[in-house]
A and B are shown apart, each in its own frame.
Chain A
């Protein structure tokens, strides 16, 4: 159902993102091919949306010319910044810990089966996505609606952000996802309800590819495929991707930011730090929850650096984790602070007295989370299995120094629970949709945590339990 123009728009995102990836030091070159492609698409989403936003602030709505410029510019920048030979034939440094892939026939057969399962899952989601028009309530009323407006009217000229009759579309929500849709409409058939759906299969592939890329740096091929298959198979991820909910790109950026931050903290390759910084831009520009995720990531990184007591890493961290994301999104936040506050301001309710006053809501919030996680149609039995596994391996993963990964994975859920306690609405009303989507944000990190515990505990084929020496 997607026109050649819409497909071309997605390819531009990938190409532009690949240019950004190479321009910033070929970050994630250590990843698998799916990992590099997934990273490139994610960076392309960030680069294009930010570029189109700045152009729109200057009076230019999305156009083919601006898209072409955004596709080519990072390649020219990279060419100028780096030496020609290094840029064209980007070196592919060997990973620090090269996983050994098994060569047994049974292992190869399982790998083929997992690969086939992954491909079939992607095909199933893609077929439905591109053959179904935009339909979800939030997508129509919020993201696609903004996309239509941004396509027709530059931000500098539109009255949309001051129109109280449009407050239901949340005037102050970030614009990455609407701009991505606008871009597809620019090259495709503008306003067509099917065109933006081409983003769904691309996003799904990038999501799984990026996750696989980080897994493949630490795990052998079989394990990387196994855990990627587990992620791909959770129904709620595929349904939300097929319907183009913005929680999926947010989860993509948080996964990329958190896992690259952890890789940098554990190693010494600054390309991981640069990738983290770029992903943080996506966090801040996709959904307001991204602010909470960004704060959590900053806090964990700051604590980790303090524990490591390596002063020389503070300066590059400050540049890439603070300066780059905040400067890149400064113009968006400047616009946002000028938008009338027409909905509840959560930030003003983030106080201890409000929390204590609303303490009676805690059981309802906890019950809501439990009920959501037990919905087999959305999660199979993933969450109960996760909790049981974490409890049974509690002593091990604490000793394995997986605390930072645990914090990145679980603090968002705690943060959202606090917000639901202080929110003015009934927790019950938030069960229908929002609660499950919040769980999606840290879902890949949960699986990554399980994979790391399993590897170090010897629970994976070919892995042996790591003995942790105690003083």
Chain B
């Protein structure tokens, strides 16, 4: 009896795990249908990618509640990382970028994606270990002060406009979107 019950439980767990493999093959199909640059979008979207929700019970719950509520607004992913991926391909490696926003996702993603280009939120070094300290460290600059940034060695600035972030070359005042 003990052996039968034990093997039954283990067998159910193993079979259950095999049944959930279809998620991987479905995700693989979705990834292959996209060009490489677009796959980052899918990777960061919790609605389409179950890997993003692994180990996150609260996020999983809030997502399923939004799906249940018929009149809930569509989930918008504040996906600053997607934009940073596109910019990484054109930004010079020796760029020094002033981030004129305290958006933590943008700061952390661009710091990684744009390396060795430097990304800063203030001309003075400050402790940045989490979103709260990032907000404390950030110093906003207005357009008349852009020339001062140029004098301090910055080559680009990221500004937030209606539809999202924009990268401007301080020397040429060109806009990349």
Inter-chain residue pair count (beta carbon < 8 A): 166
Q: Which of B24-63 contact A (CB under 8 A)?
A: 24-25, 27-28, 31-32, 36, 39-40, 42-44, 50-60
* Chain A residue with Cβ nearest B18: A117
Q: Is the CB of B73 closer than 8 A to any CB of chain A?
A: no
Q: Which of chain A's residues have a CB closer than 8 A to the CB of B125?
A: 163-165
Question: Are B54 and A239 in contact (CB-based, < 8 A)?
Answer: yes
Question: Are B3 and A377 in contact (CB-based, < 8 A)?
Answer: no
Question: Are A128 and B13 in contact (CB-based, < 8 A)?
Answer: no
- Bound-state CA distance A125–B60 (Å) is 21
Q: Which of chain B's residues have a CB closer than 8 A to the CB of A166?
A: 111, 128
Question: Are B16 and A167 in contact (CB-based, < 8 A)?
Answer: no
Q: Which of chain B's residues have a CB closer than 8 A to the CB of A145?
A: 111-112, 115
Q: Is the CB of A432 closer than 8 A to any CB of chain B?
A: yes
A237-267 near B? 1/0 per residue, CB < 8 Å: 0111011000000000000000000000000
Q: Which of chain A's residues have a CB closer than 8 A to the CB of B2?
A: 457-459
Q: Is the CB of A285 closer than 8 A to any CB of chain B?
A: no
Q: Tell me how many residues of B have a C-beta within 8 Å of chain A.
A: 55
Question: Are A121 and B57 in contact (CB-based, < 8 A)?
Answer: no
Nearest-Cβ distance from residue B30 to partner chain A, whole angstroms: 10
Q: A132-B43, A140-B109, A230-B14 are in contact. Are A236 and B128 (CB under 8 A)?
A: no
Q: Which of B50-88 contact A (CB under 8 A)?
A: 50-60, 81, 85
Stretch at the interface among A33-41, A381-389, A403-411: A381-389
Q: A133-B36, A145-B115, A168-B108 are in contact. Are A234 and B128 (CB under 8 A)?
A: no
Question: Are A378 and B55 in contact (CB-based, < 8 A)?
Answer: yes
Q: A140-B109, A167-B128, A226-B10 are in contact. Are A431 and B43 (CB under 8 A)?
A: no
Give which listed residue, B9, B25, B27, B116, contacts A385 with CB less than 8 A: B9
- Bound-state CA distance A342–B129 (Å) is 8
Q: Which of A147-171 contact B (CB under 8 A)?
A: 148-149, 152, 163-168
Q: Which 10 A-B pairs have the closest CB atoms?
A: A233-B17, A135-B43, A124-B24, A436-B55, A239-B54, A167-B129, A459-B6, A127-B28, A131-B31, A164-B127
Binding site for A on B (CB under 8 A): 2-3, 6-7, 9-10, 13-14, 16-18, 20-21, 24-25, 27-28, 31-32, 36, 39-40, 42-44, 50-60, 81, 85, 108-109, 111-113, 115-116, 120, 125-130, 133-134, 137
Binding site for B on A (CB under 8 A): 1, 114, 117, 120-121, 124-125, 127-128, 131-133, 135, 137, 140-141, 144-145, 148-149, 152, 163-168, 193-194, 226-227, 229-230, 232-236, 238-240, 242-243, 342-343, 371-372, 375, 377-378, 380-382, 385, 389, 431-433, 435-437, 454, 457-461
